Amino acid sequence: MRLIRSFLCNESGATAIEYGLIAALIGTAIIGGVGAYGTELGNMFNGVSSKIDNAVSKAP
């Protein structure tokens, strides 16, 4: 009986689970953000790259 009561009162595992849930939530948010803005960001970098290539090819 004492062992069961000790097990039920032990909260050290709860903290680890909470940190795991927070990490999973942050990871999900990052994946969602990259998915939403990834294509737009890629297009922006491709545009900048094209402008740099044009400027370099026109240089004397």
Q: What is the CA radius of gyration of the chain?
A: 26
- In whole angstroms, what is the distance from residue 54 CA to residue 38 CA? 24
Looking at residue 11, what is its pLDDT? Answer: 65
Predicted pLDDT at 16: 78
pLDDT tens by residue, 2-44: 777 776 676 666 677 888 899 999 999 999 888 888 888 889 9
Distance CA 19, CA 25 (A): 10
Boundaries of every domain in the chain: 31-55
Tokens of residue 49, six digits:
């790259």
* pTM assigned to the model: 0.48
Could you tell me the two tokens for 13?
């595992």
